[in-house]
Chain A
Amino acid sequence: MGLAEAASGPDPAAGLQAARELRELAERLEALQVANARTRGWSWQEIAFFLGVSKQAVHKKYAGRT
């Protein structure tokens, strides 16, 4: 059975693994682009705007401070 078939079949394993990997990919891309934005002088507020979260959330996640 191919993976695509497995993902839409009754066994959730392939779909769950795909979701998890997608989440990890999103995290890594986000981290890369946040660092990229900061290098270009973007403020936490501007970054938060594009991420769709609060400034506090971005700051806490990437600067470690609330």
Chain B
Amino acid sequence: MFERFSTQARQAVAVARSEAVSQGTRQIGCEHLLIALAHGRSGPAADALRAAGLDPATLSELAAGRRPAEPLDAEALAVIGIDLDRVRRAAEAAFGPGALDHPHQGPGMRRRVTMTADCKKVLELGLRQAQRSHDRTLSSGHLLIGIIDQGDNGALRLLESAGADPAALRADTERRLTAAA
């Protein structure tokens, strides 16, 4: 899949992973990809985001503020005989409510992160968009358009908190993509 990504797009995915890790989440979501695109020094997505006044630091802070709890999967653990409710009750009795609900954020920790289904969908949508471009390469602009077209994800909610207009952002990104071609 990544063979058809531009260098900038590949870089964005890598930065999205670091952003997810530093936010202490288990999954790379669209919001991390959005923040990564905002970090770009140039390119249609970075330029469009900058033009809309959306800087990575603000987006990152907003994302951190709305981090939801990530409870463990009781069903998966039941498969191997672990009664998560019992473990959780004991942990909360000793360490307070929500004790087991967040991944630990340690400075030296190696996190295993996967991508959310929404984020995977965005990459797919981006690839489809890229097919129609003249060099068939997925650029950062296609990723941003993919995020907006997917219609319901963490990045769109983040844009909403930041007071941005996704439709206008999409139009600007498309304009810049066409200009760059």
Contact = CB atoms under 8 A, between A and B. Distances in A.
Interface of A: 3-4, 6-7, 14-15, 17-25, 27-32, 36, 60-65
B95 A7 contact: no
Given A24-B72, A61-B108, A61-B109, A29 B91 contact: yes
B78 A3 contact: yes
Interface residues of B, number: 25
Interface string B88-117: 000100110001101110111100100000
A15 B76 CA distance: 8
A55 to B, nearest CB: 13
Contact of B112 (A4, A15, A20, A28): A20
Contacts of B99: 32
A23 B91 CA distance: 16
Contact of A18 (B77, B91, B100): B77
A25 B78 CA distance: 12
B26 to A, nearest CB: 7
Given A32-B91, A62-B108, A64-B107, A22 B80 contact: yes
18 contacts: A4-B78, A14-B76, A17-B76, A21-B77, A22-B80, A22-B82, A27-B103, A27-B104, A28-B100, A28-B102, A28-B104, A32-B91, A32-B94, A32-B104, A36-B94, A61-B108, A62-B106, A62-B108
Contact of A28 (B75, B77, B82, B103): B103
Contacts of A31: 104, 106
Contacts of A23: 112
A64 B104 CA distance: 13
Contacts of B87: 25, 29
Contacts of A30: 104
B1 interface: no
Contacts of B78: 3-4
A21 B100 contact: no
Nearest to A6: B79
A20 B100 CA distance: 15
B106 A61 contact: yes
B108 A25 contact: no
